[in-house]
């Protein structure tokens, strides 16, 4: 592990970890706060640059809500379209919907049908991969829209919590 990754992981554990949030027994690591760390954005951009030219994807879909931050920045840097995976009732017009169980509750995600008028190769982006449930639900939506999930990009994957082996590529910043 390079020095920057180790430094950012240490900051995440020591400065941006919140025990018992959002419920008792959960340790929430707020990766968005890493944007305050000197050099993190450059490190993130370096990881995004490694995605350039792979030809695997033609757009990025950010998963609500922190995936909007990371996915939007990645899409802007790479010059590709940015789509959103939203919670139920947040998108106008016709949508594709999928209801699934999360670690904490039952939830529904949606994507705009207009975003999928033709097949796409989508890179899904989120902040943290934990159990993988929201990621799998997002992938289901993309596939039900007639498109392909080209891969996954996240800031952090928590090992041992969920299986993401169905995805061709999973890349993380940390």
Active site residues: 66, 103
Could you write out the three-class secondary structure of 9-24?
HHHHHHHCEEECCCCC
Cα separation, 18 vs 39, in Å, equals 23
Burial 42-62 (b: 16+ CB within 10 A, else e): ebbeebbeebeeeeebbbbbb
Residue 122, token pair as written in the block: 């989508």
């Amino acid at each position: 592990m390079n020095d920057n990754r180790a430094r950012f992981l240490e900051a995440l554990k020591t400065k941006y970890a919140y025990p018992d949030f959002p419920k008792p027994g959960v340790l929430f690591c707020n990766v968005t706060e890493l944007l305050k760390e000197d050099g993190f954005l450059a490190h993130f951009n370096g990881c995004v640059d490694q995605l350039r030219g792979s030809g695997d994807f033609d757009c990025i879909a950010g998963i609500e809500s922190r995936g909007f931050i990371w996915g939007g920045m990645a899409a802007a840097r790479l010059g590709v379209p940015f789509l959103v995976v939203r919670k139920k009732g947040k998108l106008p017009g016709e949508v594709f919907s999928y209801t699934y169980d999360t670690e904490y509750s039952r939830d529904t995600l949606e994507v705009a049908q207009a975003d999928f008028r033709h097949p796409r190769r989508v890179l899904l982006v989120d902040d943290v991969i934990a159990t993988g449930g929201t990621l799998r639900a997002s992938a289901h939506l993309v596939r039900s829209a007639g498109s392909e999930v080209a891969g996954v990009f996240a800031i952090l994957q928590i090992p041992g919590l969920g299986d993401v082996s169905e995805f061709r590529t999973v890349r993380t910043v940390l």
